[in-house]
Amino acid sequence: MAREGHIDLLQLAEHCGCGAKYPAADLRDLLRGFARADDPRLLVGPETFDDGAVYRLRDDCLIVQTVDFFPPVASQPEVYGRIAAANALSDIYAMGGRPVTAMALLCLPAKRIPLPTARAILAGAFEKITEAGAALVGGHTLTDEQLKFGLSVTGTVEPGQILSNAACQPGDVLVLTKPLGTGLTITAAKAGMAAESSVQQANRFMSALNAQAAAAALASLARAATDITGFGFLGHSWQMAKASRARMRFRAEAAALIDGALEYASLGLVPAGAYANRRFLEGRVSFSADVSVACQDVLFDPQTSGGLLVCLPPDNVSGFQAALSGQVDCCASVIGRVEAGDREPRLTVER
């Protein structure tokens, strides 16, 4: 629910959070034919749909750049600002980097959103930027019919510590660091059918930075990582498999879930983005007969500020899990393995 004196932002959004992401199939068509920049200093570009670009300024200085913004994902403006900031900062962490500066992007329907509400969104974002040790250095504001907010973030990454999505090897273990089901929970909340405890749990995880998970991944010599957002768990896993020319096998029951997420899926409270993600992956993912449709919907569910999917050598998994044990805002669910692949990656999901 919205705080007294503020409107319920969630009810303003047609598509919420990363559920507003442009469909993956259409995005690939949109970008087809655009060549990678002919610059040897560009170490990670757009061709693998990674979380951020990595550019070498000097031999000892690599920068990571990303941008992310979206419509409201929570009823309260401060919570929306925190989640939007954590989501944008996550791309830097997913690349193995450290956020340095951030610029705010705000599209504001000024006649519908009072100034105190807009300031509360910025205050929530500033809180997370400060927690990340980064500096808010400016931004850009537009008058628009639809409220949208997010950040452009620049970070740094140490040479040799880039966590791209393209380095998985057969036999590696895949570990997920936040529960799934935020899109389903948001959809249920917008319909007035979500338990308040479920909404609070989703908001807590979406507001959490992926800094600890990224630090643990680097310390555990992870081979690759990506963050799970609008293309859903399976969509981002497929991008990682494709970039790595590998196949992946998952156990659906191994995934941690937001409380109530499976029930919301069973009730049909499924965001439109989940159906788009399912269509994109048709013929690219196979499910065993005992994986229910509701469980499939959870795996296709567009996440906002989701966790990292970390690819680790088998011997390093226990150390990674130990590093995250006791943390209240992340988990370390062993959810799958990498298998030898070919030119066309495939995902297999077992119960």
Q: How far is CA 140 from CA 103, 104, 199, 260, in A?
A: 8, 6, 30, 38
In this prediction, residue 65 carries a pLDDT of: 96
The pTM assigned to this predicted structure is 0.93
In this prediction, residue 11 carries a pLDDT of: 87
In this prediction, residue 320 carries a pLDDT of: 97
Q: What is the mean pLDDT of residues 106-123?
A: 94
Secondary element (H or E) of residue 91:
helix 77-94
Cα 103 from Cα 44, distance rounded (Å): 22
Query: Radius of gyration over alpha carbons of the chain, in Å?
Result: 19
311 is catalytic: no
Task: Give 314-322's long-range contacts (Cβ < 8 A, gap of 24+).
Answer: 314/171, 314/172, 314/173, 316/220, 316/221, 316/222, 317/173, 317/175, 317/220, 319/219, 319/220, 320/175, 320/216, 320/217, 320/219, 320/220, 320/222, 321/175
Percentage of the chain with pLDDT > 70?
96
In this prediction, residue 30 carries a pLDDT of: 83
In this prediction, residue 261 carries a pLDDT of: 97
Strand partners, 101: 135, 154
- Give tens-digit pLDDT for 204-256: 999 999 999 999 999 999 999 999 999 999 999 999 999 999 999 999 999 99
Per-residue confidence band for 185, with pLDDT thresholds at 50, 70 and 90: very high
In this prediction, residue 127 carries a pLDDT of: 98
- Give tens-digit pLDDT for 251-287: 999 999 999 999 999 999 999 999 999 999 999 999 9
Please tell me the CATH code under which domain 173-350 is placed: 3.90.650.10
Strands annotated E in 214-261: 224-227, 246-251
Cα 292 from Cα 288, distance rounded (Å): 9
Chain region(s) in the chain for CATH 3.30.1330.10: 9-157
Residues in the chain: 351
CB distance 185 to 261 below 8 Å: yes
Cα 84 from Cα 64, distance rounded (Å): 18
Domain topology for 9-157: 60s Ribosomal Protein L30; Chain: A; (3.30.1330)
Tokens (6 digits) for 8:
């319920």
In this prediction, residue 101 carries a pLDDT of: 98
Chain region(s) in the chain for CATH 3.90.650.10: 173-350
Strand partners, 294: none
| Residue in 18, 295, 311, 330 annotated catalytic | 18
* Mean pLDDT estimate for the chain: 92
